[in-house]
Amino acid sequence: MSRIGKQIITLPEKTEIVLSAGSVLVKGPLGELSKSVHPMIEIKVNGNEVTIHPKKETLESRALWGTYASHLKNMVSGVNKAFEKKLILEGIGYKSEVKGDSIVFALGFSHPVNIEIPKGLQVTAEKNNITISGSNKEVVGEFAAKLRSLKKPEPYKGKGMRYSDEVIKRKQGKKSA
């Protein structure tokens, strides 16, 4: 039995779920999100409560049960309150700014780095603090990881791009004789 899958998801007010053939659509104040549902998983809506059950007890359906419950819970919370990731850019000469629908970085390379911002995300860059917010948790996390991978933090001086809650283990430099 899935501990996460057994939990009942309660819908806040102004949020509704529409089930159609093979997909689920969640509508809320911040927009709507949709996801296709595996045929082994069954979603039931009773008023403002949503339950998820596997159609047959197989190893694959039990594995998908908790996964889809977690996805649905994230969709419900995402259309009510946006998910947010914060990145900090540290280093002399490292800059970031949002221009239209892309974000431009100066990361010590010989050229500026332009990255397109995916639709549905809001990105702000203030004094090397980058905030990414949106209703889809997967897209927010994926875009934050993509930005971080441009210049990962290094352990000697801590230069690079890191999450705001990330702690970088520092190493001792070379010792002089």
Tell whether the model's pLDDT for residue 53 goes beyond 70. Answer: yes
What pLDDT score does 177 carry?
Answer: 66
pLDDT above 90 as % of the chain: 80
Q: Which CATH number fits domain 83-163: 2.40.30.10, 3.90.930.12, 1.10.150.20, 3.90.1150.10?
A: 3.90.930.12
> pLDDT by residue (tens digit) across 19-41?
998 899 999 999 999 999 999 99
99 backbone dihedrals φ, ψ, rounded to 5°: -125, 105
As a CATH number, domain 3-78 is 3.90.930.12
What pLDDT score does 21 carry?
Answer: 86
Break the chain into its structural domains and give their ranges.
3-78, 83-163
Torsion of CA 28, 80, 135, 34, to 10 degrees: -40
Pair of tokens at residue 57: 């007890």
The whole-chain average pLDDT of the chain stands at 92
> pLDDT by residue (tens digit) across 129-168?
999 999 999 999 999 999 999 999 999 998 999 999 999 9
Within this chain, domains 3-78 and 83-163 share the same CATH topology: yes
Rounded CA separation 41/94 (Å): 47
Sorted by sequence, the CB contacts under 8 Å of residue 41 that are 6+ apart come out as: 52, 53, 54, 55, 61, 64, 65, 68
